[in-house]
Amino acid sequence: MSNSSGPGTGHTDPYLSAIMSERRQLIGVAYRLLGSLADAEDVVQETYARWYAMTPQQQDAIESPGAWLTKVASRICLDVLGSARVRRESYVGEWLPEPLPGHAEWIDARPDAGPVDPADRVTLDESVNMAFLVILDSMTPAERVAFILHDVFRYPFAEVAEIVGRTPAACRQLASSARRRVDTSRVNVTREPRRAALVRDFKQAWEAKDIDALIGLLAPDATAIGDGGGLVAAAPRPVEGSEQIARYLVELLVRASGLTILEHTVNAQPGLTARLDGVTVAVFALDVAGGRITRIWAVRNPEKLRPWTTRETHSTFGHVTARPDASS
């Protein structure tokens, strides 16, 4: 193959189309591993920098550039996850994953993705909802990487082992441990049509400042968590109980004159956004079970709302695909 070169050198890069076509896949993997689109984009940029730091001969020796890019990106994510735990110690208030706008189709697997391994209990769609990302954040970095790459993207444990730096058997145990965390946290998921209706009813009751209606839509033991990152005001600790949450939300609407509540898809599920003077100032992801809203995650940190400040409301992920087989 002819010599390759990085962007801006004036020479034709025979790999450019192939490696750039992997960008959406890489961001999809990195977002699920890190819970931050900004960090995911940084990881992908660093991954490409490492590719172009190699000589043409080194690039030619790589049989599958796509597999190489995924392996490098995952290893970088593993390092970022380790340092993130240190950064969280100085984070002001509650930390939540970065919410994503858009519809479910941007994370659907292709129809030709192949048979699903029986161990794959998580769909690509489910793997970006806020409840799932919050569970992932409770895992160790190695658990999270092993679980996402195998159970979600169906990478064989032999390949996961190369990334994590452990044996395939150890990675199998890591994924199993992570899977138990997910299974323990799961409840009966409300079907999508009813979920959307509940969120719409909740929005209308909130706009009407109807505390009783809000209480009726919330589970008695519901929890609301806000993330302001110390940059904007947010509840310093979780608000618990349907009545407490209802009164808190109504008080918030009374104080914030001119606040507009809108229905929006948040991490592939029905959610809400709040706008003030045309600017999105909060994104609300909601979890539903038993016909009521059980959890509300309110992201107010402006650094996490960057994807919501543009006109485009769809995710940049495109169609992220899972590996056809992860039986090993």
Q: What three-state secondary structure class fits 55?
A: coil
For 134-152, how does the pLDDT look when each residue is reduced to its tens digit (9 = 90+)? 999 999 999 999 999 999 9
Q: Are 266 and 101 in contact (CB under 8 A)?
A: yes
Nearest to 296 by CA among 232, 231, 252, 254: 252
Amino acid at 317: F
Write down the residue that tokens 């509840």 correspond to: 235
Nearest to 221 by CA among 196, 238, 198: 238
Q: Are 156 and 327 in contact (CB under 8 A)?
A: yes
Work out the average pLDDT over 190-202: 85
For 221-271, how does the pLDDT look when each residue is reduced to its tens digit (9 = 90+)? 999 999 999 999 898 899 999 999 999 999 999 998 889 999 999 998 999
CATH number listed for the domain at residues 14-90: 1.10.1740
From the candidate CATH numbers 3.40.50.300, 3.10.450.50, 3.40.50.12780, 1.20.1560.10, the one assigned to the domain spanning 192-308 = 3.10.450.50
Q: Please, what is the end-to-end C-alpha distance for the chain in angstroms?
A: 33
Work out the average pLDDT over 114-120: 41
Work out the average pLDDT over 77-84: 91
Distances in whole angstroms, Cα of residue 143 to Cα of each of 47, 137, 242: 22, 10, 34
Q: pLDDT tier at 47 (50, 70, 90 boundaries)?
A: very high
pTM attached to this predicted model? 0.83
Q: What three-state secondary structure class fits 245?
A: helix
C-alpha 268/C-alpha 282 separation (Å) is 17
Q: Are 224 and 243 in contact (CB under 8 A)?
A: no
Which H or E run contains 218? strand 218-227
Query: Where exactly are the structural domains of the chain?
Result: 14-90, 121-186, 192-308
pLDDT of 85 reads: 75
Statement: residue 277 has pLDDT above 80 = yes
Q: pLDDT tier at 112 (50, 70, 90 boundaries)?
A: very low
Statement: residue 158 has pLDDT above 70 = yes
From the candidate CATH numbers 1.20.140, 1.10.10, 1.10.357, 3.30.460, the one assigned to the domain spanning 121-186 = 1.10.10
